[in-house]
Structures are given as structure tokens and as C-alpha cells.
Amino acid sequence: MKKANIAVIGMEVMGKSLALNMESKGYNVAVYNRTAEKTKAFAEGAAKGKNIIPTYDLKELVDALESPKKIMLMVKEGQPVDNFIDMLLPHLKPGDLIIDGGNSFFKDTIRRNKMLSEKGILFIGTGVSGGEEGALKGPAIMPGGQFEAYKLVEKIFRDIAAKAYDGEPCVDYIGPDGAGHFVKTTHNGIEYGDMELIGEVVWFFKNIGMKADEIADIMAKWNGPNDILRSYLIEITADSMKQKHQGSDEFLVDRVADITRMKGTGTWTVQSALELLVPIPTIAAAVFAREMSQDKDLRLEMVKRLKISTGSFSGNKDEIINVAHDALYIAKISSYAQGVALLQAASKAYNFSLNIGRIAKIWRAGCIIRAQFLDEITKAYESDPKLPNLLAAPKFADFVQSNIGKLATFISVAHQCGVPALAMSGAFDYILQITSPIMPSAQVSALQRDYFGAHGYFKIGGPDKPELMVNEKGQVREFHTEWLLPGRPEREITK
């Protein structure tokens, strides 16, 4: 039998779908699963009659492959990935390639890449986004690792990836070692942000008396061909909210428990942001909202003990729907600006050499956050690679400047009606903060720290001179006030 071009390990939904996708593009694919029954079931089911070679031990799998061997792991992140790497190693030779296509933590990927490259084995950690359908018909692929490793699978990846409307495959070399997984994790953080922002709008609409099908119709309109909000997540919100519960008259959405679980990538995004000192309040709010959703017992108990009285909506419904539309768009821009800022900080800290414009291009199709809107991000960074923040891109800046009042209105009306808007508020406040040359809240905190802990503070030129005071060498000058001494003298701290 002809040798396989690539192997897929892990016959859960993503692994099977990817194997079928590869086969459909003309590749011979060897497959393996830890429990043989799954491999057998696949071989006798969806893979029957196809160029898919079932194997039942790892030596058999490796032997079935042409050289250099290319083996893609589609297994649960964490220990299972390490276990498979350890089990594969005795069968591999320098120049062979292992690909981890799961949602792995990027620091694990950096560690694995280092360990394997010391043995001459190439390693790619890649994001694969798009769920089951994407894996089968075309995902967005975000590979990180050695460039020569990427070259070994570039053709396969380009063939199986989703194609954007201009025909471009949604895959590109992201950068070294953990770059691909970092970008995928951030993609998921942005996905959480999008989902929570949409959810807050839905909560508000529900609060002012709209039924699920009415909200679904609004979402469907917002997914119109030329609508700025047009995106996969808006589309599936519209579609899923129309779904009835078990053939009854009730909508499924009204019967689904208000609990959003999560597997960890959103939390990693926030953890990375904390580590890299990058504020991502919308994405963090989305994680916090999921956490609050999971504490159902607490909420059921609290409502008995703390009654929050709120007003009700008395404005014009059509008007507030339009306000919500533009508010959501601004919040989305803000959230993506936060995600991009995180990518840029990680790129510096970990030498990922990320190209934001090209990453946005990959996300245009196949992945969960896919949207026409991503084209604007690509264009923004193509025309100005030094953009200080996505919000400064002229097209976004114009929209935000002209419509920011609508985001303020949405948040305030939502709050008046008792609807939380954590992510929306985070998005709004991010814009307010990032455009403040002086943050008085930080001025007072700086003083407080110096007062209680002698931690020192920097100075600016004056109320109208926000620039930092520097010495003749250009170094920022630091000061301390002796708060407990008479006259409270100020002295300069020299380092």
C-alpha cells in the first residue's frame, strides 16, 4: 500500500474531521487512537473506502508514513501531549515532525519545541479553529515552530484550510515555538469577548420585553451582507435563538441553563495579559462573567437576600436597537484592540515576530471569530505597521469618535434597567483610559503608594503638560515626599 503523507493521532471529533479533510484533498492519512475501538469504528465508518490507513500501535503508524514523518496530535492538551511525544520519540529520526493541533498552553509548546529540537525532531504547535465543521471543511490554522517545519506541511495546511472570500487560504507561518498557540489562545480570548458582548445585548433586549425570535431577527439583520457586525458569531446567535425546545412552543434558549463553561484558553489569555501588563478588560470581563454564570447556587441564594430595585425601559425601542448595534461595534473594536495589544506585547516578550495584519487575514474565514471586519484590521496594519493601537486606525477612529456616545447610552440604559454590562463597560472604559493623557485615578494612587509605603512617584510638567519629567540623560525622574516630617519635604530619588 502507498505510504501515508501524514498521520493524525486522536480520533475524537477534531482528529477524525481533520483526517477526512486531508484525505479529501488527495492525501493519504494514517490514523491512530489510544483506544483501538475508536480507530476501528472510524475505519469502518466515515473513513471506509477512503485513503485512510487505520493503525493500532505507534510503530505501525510511523512505519505507514513516508519520510520525513509528519504526525499531527489531536489529543487533549496537557499530559496526553507529553505522553504521546514520549511514546513517539523512539520511532522517530532527526528531521521528522510532530505537530500539536490541540489548544495547548503556549509555554508548554515552547518547552516541547526546545526539548524536541535538542533531539533533532521538528515541532509545530498550531492553533486549529473552527470546531468540527471547520476541521472537516476548512479551519483557520495558526502554526508556530521552526520555519523549516512549517515548510514540510505548508502545502497540506494550505490545501485543508478555509479559504477567505478572495481565495486566500486561512493559514500562515505565525512564528517560532509557542507563537501559534499563543495566537490561538488570544483568538479564543477575543472569541470570549465577542460572545459576552453579544450576550449582554441579548440580555438587555430580553429585559425590555423582546422574545427570543424577535432578538434572533435583529441578529439576522445585523448579519446582513453589508452590516459592520456581520460575523459567524452573530449568525449563529440568530440561528440558535430561533430554535424551539423539543418541538414545543418554548425557545430552547429560554430552557438552557445560564451556565457558560470553559476549557481554559480564555483564562490563559487573561493570565498572559496580567503577566505582560497589558490591560484587556473586555476579555477579562468575559471570563469573569463565565465564572459568575457557573456559581448558580450562589446567585439563587443571593437573590433571596439582596433585592436590587431597578428601573424599566421607557425609551423608543427602534432607537435603542440602533444604539445597541453601534455600541456593540465600538465595543468589538475596543476588544480586538485589547487582543491585538496583547499579541504585540507577547511578540516582544517571547520574540514571536508576530505580523498582526497577516494574523487578522488568517482569521477572516474558518475560525470562530471569522468576520469581514478582520479585513479592516489587516488593512490598518498594512497601511501603518507602527499603529500605536488598533483604535487609532483611521476607519475605526472615525467610527468611534462619531458614535462613542451610543456605547455610553447603551451601558447607562442597561444599568438603569438592571442589566449588567461588564464587557461593554470594560470596552468603553478602555477607550476612555487609552485616550487620557493624564489619568487622575493613577495620580492619586501614586501619591497613596508613596504616602503609605514610600514607593516614590514620577512627575509631569503640569496640569497641561502631561509629559513625564526627565533628566538631561532622558531618564524619568523619581521623587518621594517625606510625609511624616514637618513641612513634608520632597526629595529626588537617585538610582
Active-site residues, by number, are: 184, 191
- The stretch near ligand 6PG (CB under 6 A) out of 124-132, 164-172, 441-449, 481-489 is 124-132
The stretch near ligand 6PG (CB under 6 A) out of 51-59, 123-131, 158-166, 413-421 is: 123-131
Pick 40 or 163: Cβ nearer ligand 6PG: 163
Residue closer to ligand 6PG, measured from CB, 259 or 302: 259
At 215, is the secondary structure helix, strand, or coil? helix
**Alpha carbons 346 and 360: distance in angstroms, whole number:** 16
Q: Contact region for ligand 6PG (CB under 6 A) — 30-38, 117-125, 263-271, 299-307? A: 263-271
Query: In this chain, which residue has its C-beta nearest to ligand 6PG?
Result: 129
In this structure, what DSSP letter does residue 5 have? S
Q: Does 172 bind ligand 6PG (CB under 6 A)?
A: no
Among 171, 164, 159, which residue's Cα sits nearest to residue 25?
159
Measure CA 341 to chain center: 12
Looking at 19-27, 261-269, 311-319, 430-438, which segment touches ligand 6PG (CB under 6 A)? 261-269
In contact, 8 and 74? CB cutoff 8 Å: yes
Instruction: Give the shortest CB-260-to-ligand 6PG separation in angstroms.
Output: 7
Under the criterion CB under 6 A, does residue 266 sit at the interface with ligand 6PG?
A: yes
User: Least distance from C-beta 132 to ligand 6PG, angstroms?
Assistant: 9
Q: Is position 359 an interface residue for ligand 6PG (rule: CB under 6 A)?
A: no
Among 77, 172, 177, 191, binds ligand 6PG (CB under 6 A): 191
Whether the Cβ atoms of residue 83 and residue 53 lie closer than 8 Å to each other? no
The span of 70-78, 127-135, 414-422, 468-476 binding ligand 6PG (CB under 6 A) equals 127-135
Q: Is 9 in the site for ligand 6PG (CB under 6 A)?
A: no
CB of 227 to ligand 6PG, least distance (A): 23
Among 186, 265, 355, 425, binds ligand 6PG (CB under 6 A): 265
Q: How far is the CB of 232 from ligand 6PG (least distance, A)?
A: 10
Whether the CB-CB separation of 181 and 269 falls below 8 Å is answered with no
Binding flags for ligand 6PG, 363-402, as an x/- string (CB under 6 A): ----xx----------------------------------
Give the β-pairing of 122-129 and 457-458.
unpaired
Residue 17 lies near ligand 6PG (rule: CB under 6 A): no
Distances (CA, A) of 264 to 100, 270, 445: 17, 10, 32
Q: Which C-beta is closer to ligand 6PG: that of 76 or that of 230? A: 76
- Please tell me the distance from the alpha carbon of residue 302 to that of residue 299, in angstroms, as a whole number: 5
Please say whether the beta carbons of 61 and 71 come within 8 A: yes
User: What whole-number distance in Å separates Cα of residue 407 and Cα of residue 395?
Assistant: 17
Interatomic CA distance for residues 317 and 307, integer angstroms: 27
Cell of 151: 515548510
Using CB under 6 A, which of 54, 101, 125, 130 touches ligand 6PG?
A: 130
Given the rule CB under 6 A, which of 106-114, 249-257, 262-270, 478-486 is the region that contacts ligand 6PG? 262-270
Which of 194, 326 has the CB closer to ligand 6PG?
194
Task: Pick one of 59, 211, 255, 263: the residue that binds ligand 6PG (CB under 6 A).
Answer: 263
Select from 39, 126, 129, 186 the one that contacts ligand 6PG (CB under 6 A): 129
For residue 126, which phi and psi values (nearest 5 degrees)?
Answer: -125, 140
Within 8 A by CB and 6+ apart from 266, the residues are 188, 189, 191, 192, 283, 286, 287, 290
Mind giving me the DSSP string for 116-174? HHHTT-EEEEEEEESHHHHHHH--EEEEEE-HHHHHHHHHHHHHHS-B-TTS-BSB---
Which positions lie near ligand 6PG, rule CB under 6 A? 103, 129-131, 188, 191, 262-263, 265-266, 367-368
